[in-house]
Chain A
Amino acid sequence: MKIDAVRPYVVENLRYALNPRTIAVVGASRASNKVGYQVIQGLKDWNYKGKIIPVNPRADSVHNLKAYKTVKDIPEDVDLAFVALPAHLIKMVLEHCVEKKVKLVVIASSGFKEIGRGDLQDKLTTYCRNNKLPLIGPNLLGMGSPYSNFNCGFIPYLPVPGPVAMISQSGANLLAALGTSQTTGYGMSFFVGLGNKADADFAEFVAYAGKDENSRCVAVYIEGMDCEEAFISACKSVVPNKPVVTIKVGGSEIGKRAAFAHTASDAGPSDKHYDEIFHKAGAIRATTWQEFLDMTLALGHMPPLEGDNVVMITNGGGAGLLASDELERRGYPLHTLKEISEGLSQRIQAYMPMFGSPLNPVDIAGTACELHYEGALIQSIRDSDVDGIIVSVCPTSITNVPAIADVIINLHKTYSHLNKPIIAEFQGGEECNESILRLRKEGIPAYPTPERAVSAVVALRKYAEIKKKCR
């Protein structure tokens, strides 16, 4: 349901969705194949430290925990009620939650607007709003945070801790990001699947992420947006300090229909309309899921790219060409070293063989070892006219890939005070994948292809431009 503006009581209480002290699982089940069982199993498996209270009127205990017939029968305070019950029971459960003064309720159940029961969904949402009980869902997958070992819902993964607040209307895409987090090192501060988004809106999660100390970048997957003004306003308040990246689907004709069937979302007017919304909001729009992840990874770890003077150091001419073409296509062409800084070309040449190219991309050649990389990178980073670095590695038989990764990590630590983004690109076999993971673990965005590295650079540059407008 529509909101005109971010509601402070919702933003204040969203913390209970991600780090509750006490969680009531309403619909807790004794049967291991049911959602109400698996939710509790998941909380236990991920070492949730708070108190779990099952609610089930048919059982005295569930998971060896004392069960209560209703939420209002629970003797202690309840921060979060997670409801996995059929739609026809939700009204009663919400009344019990209000009576019990529960801080926030999450409804996982389906069977509302997405199957034509919009009236019921609106009626329940109005009730929650009248009683200042924030509601997340219904028809959602779950939410959690690796910082509090909290994973609540039907999600079999907990991501690695990191800077990205992942707010998704799609459970499947959220699962994709969460599932690959462990293997790709894509770290999150928290994640939430919004489902039908009846009450708590994107805008309120954006505002919450703006205040969350673990979140340094806000990622929002959108199927339908019905509170545009609130979203714009929330983003505007956040982007001076943290970037917001969006991906909006449902632009195709069949996509619009699929979005409604999925989360009862009205995909809205033209795609161009959303370009304008995001422009007003100061949000960066990604067009593919991969780009969405790549951009948010970079923005979560690196400072904005304050100017166009990017130097690319590579031992592979082909990688350099792919990157420079892509940068130009996206409106951010590379400049030659001579254009960037007087003398930089000469200084870097000391670290390359005579058959290398000191243009930009700087090809330090396939014979380059970690010492060549270190020298060229130091010269680039320390040059006050250079705004950011792309470092690219193509493993030849004499390339010590892990040693080059070590060089990048050390330089990042040494020169982080200069606030210049470093983007790494390692294209090759397993040794490259391992180095990408090590770099990401150290907070350096690293990618397996030049084009993906360029997405990261573009995002960092766009964010700098947005920030400049905010001043």
Chain B
Amino acid sequence: MDKKEKTEGLPYDIGGSDRQKWMNKYFFAPRGMGFLEPGIVPLDHPAMSAYNITKSAYQIRPDVFNLDFVAKETGLKKEEIATRISRLYDEHLILFIINPATQVYGWGLYYWIVKLKEGTPESVKAEFSEWYQNKDEICTGFETKGDFDFFNGNHMRVIDNLYSGVINPLGTRPEVEYVHLTPIRRDVREDRINMWDAGEDGYREYLFTDDEINRLVKFQSKVDLKDLKIVRALNKKRPIEDYFNFKALAEVSGLEIEDMKAGIRSLVEEKKIVVPLVFLNWPKLGLTQRMFLIRLFQIIPCYRKAEIVDEFTKVPEFNQVMEFSDSFYDIALWACNETTDIDKLRKKIEDYGEVEEIKESDVTRQYRRWVCRLDDNHGFWEECVFTDDFLQDFAKEKRCQL
């Protein structure tokens, strides 16, 4: 039996014709905590080559991206585009990553919000912040200011590990008023790019409006209109074969172009389990994000909650959209304070009769972007850290004490 036959022979293979047919036999949702779906691939699998090569080489070879496409989109010459990408990277304004569908990979994707008690000294908040920054078990984290103080997330296989690693050390601190878990039910949009849960044809759409771009250009001086057009073009949805410069990837690696194309296509377009994206380092640009944490009335049925999320997803200014499960809260929406009309967006949310409560905080600092550290002031820019609890028992190791 050759490799292809073997893969296709797997029952319910992601991207295959039997995908999730097993639901005909069972009645619970396929997502949730700790599922390992057939057809997943490890991050060092040959199918990941195009991404892996780009991730490791774009710092010195910006032409690993398809600059012909970017040139066509922006009207700029390829040489200028390459020079600008290099500058944006060197100044730590952009970062290339993938966002993987961690829930499909067998993790639960948990976020949580932390509220410190009124009057807690800034020094304590700073201590918490450093803990998050250096805690390799946590893949994503944000410092916020407003109704709550932190919003963090991690993919974990074992709920005990989340409790032992994060919730317990935080919850036992006297300065903490509460920690609320917000497990992800749908990962709809991150950093302006629609993820696999966006629904309909929205997957991989990048939403960065002209209005926001123009406002951003006026707000700061680190990036100009051309830079932002390049970032938008790099992230624009198109067939994944057009995303990379496979000739350059072959030059770097010696691998076969067609193999690399087939591999990345299967992951991004068929299985839909990874999304490559160029992250614009918004804190470095002096931007802040308003995070709306929305609680629906508990009588609202799930289908309606999903519809409301879909309706919010149609608003391009919401650059981050998440739907929660089994939580006090149901939806998180983000919008940039400096480039959108926050009051208008709040009004839009308030117009929904299903909304019981909205908490608001401004996101002022991001610690990591999908396991890559963003703290260039510590000298760890783009250092990828280990954030998996695979085979680990944090409760036993007691290594996550705050």
Contacts and interface: CB of A to CB of B under 8 A. Distances in A.
B59 A120 contact: no
A289 to B, nearest CB: 31
B86 to A, nearest CB: 10
Given A86-B44, A92-B252, A57 B379 contact: no
B56 interface: yes
Interface string A69-110: 110000000000000011111111000000000000000000
A91 B253 contact: yes
A85 B60 contact: no
A33 interface: yes
A59 B254 contact: no
B56 A85 contact: yes
A59 B381 contact: yes
A277 to B, nearest CB: 33
A91 B61 CA distance: 14
Interface centre among B44, B49, B385, B386 (most CB of A within 10 A): B44
Contacts of B386: 33
Interface in B54-73: 56-57, 59-61
Given A29-B383, A61-B379, A89 B252 contact: yes
B80 interface: no
Contacts, number: 57
A89 B59 contact: no
B253 A30 contact: no
B1 to A, nearest CB: 16
Contacts of A342: none
A30 B14 CA distance: 36
Contacts of B59: 57-58, 69
B354 interface: no
B385 A91 contact: no
A123 interface: yes
A342 B49 CA distance: 77
A123 B255 CA distance: 10
A120 B254 contact: yes
Contacts of A50: none
Contacts of B56: 85-86, 88-89
B252 A88 contact: yes
Interface in B24-64: 44, 49, 52-53, 56-57, 59-61
A89 B253 contact: yes
Q: What bracket does the count of chain A residues touching chain B fall in?
A: 20 to 34
A151 B50 CA distance: 34
Contacts of B384: 31
Interface string A109-124: 0010000000010011
Please report whether the interface of chain A is mostly helix, strand, loop or mixed according to DSSP.
loop
A30 B372 CA distance: 12
B385 A31 contact: yes
B380 A30 contact: yes
B310 interface: no
Contact of A89 (B44, B53, B380, B381): B53
B382 interface: yes
Nearest to A123: B254
A216 B255 CA distance: 43
A60 interface: yes
Contact of A69 (B44, B52, B60, B251): B60
A30 B383 contact: yes
Contact of A88 (B253, B380, B383): B253
Nearest to B92: A58
A29 B254 CA distance: 24
B252 A58 contact: no
A88 B60 contact: no
Interface centre among A57, A111, A123 (most CB of B within 10 A): A57
A59 B372 CA distance: 13
Interface string B341-352: 000000000000
Interface residues of B, number: 22
A231 to B, nearest CB: 28
A60 B379 contact: yes
Contacts of B49: 88
Contacts of B385: 31
B379 A30 contact: yes
Interface string B377-397: 001111111100000000000
A3 B150 CA distance: 61
A90 B254 CA distance: 9
A58 B60 contact: no
Nearest to A110: B44
Nearest to A93: B252
Given A57-B59, A69-B60, A31 B383 contact: yes
Nearest to A116: B46
B254 A91 contact: yes
Contacts of A85: 56
Nearest to A96: B60
A85 B252 CA distance: 13
Contacts of B53: 88-89
Contacts of A57: 59-60
Nearest to B385: A31
A123 B380 CA distance: 34
Contact of A58 (B44, B254, B382): B382
B379 A59 contact: yes
A29 B56 CA distance: 13
A85 B55 CA distance: 12
B251 A88 contact: no
B52 A88 contact: yes
Nearest to B56: A89
A86 B379 contact: no
A92 B381 contact: no
A202 B49 CA distance: 32
A402 B235 CA distance: 76
Interface string B67-97: 0000000000000000000000000000000
Nearest to B49: A88
B298 to A, nearest CB: 44
Interface in B309-357: none
Nearest to A72: B60
Interface centre among A58, A89, A90, A120 (most CB of B within 10 A): A58
Interface string B233-269: 0000000000000000001111100000000000000
A61 B251 CA distance: 27
A74 to B, nearest CB: 13
Interface string B168-194: 000000000000000000000000000
A180 to B, nearest CB: 30
A415 B44 CA distance: 61
Contacts of A92: 57, 61, 251-253
Nearest to A92: B252
B275 to A, nearest CB: 20
A89 B49 CA distance: 10
8 contacts: A31-B380, A31-B385, A59-B379, A87-B253, A88-B56, A90-B254, A91-B251, A124-B254
Nearest 10 pairs of A and B residues by beta carbon: A57-B59, A91-B254, A88-B253, A58-B382, A92-B252, A88-B53, A57-B60, A30-B383, A89-B56, A123-B254
Given A88-B53, A91-B252, A111-B44, 6 more contacts: A30-B383, A57-B59, A61-B379, A85-B56, A91-B251, A120-B254
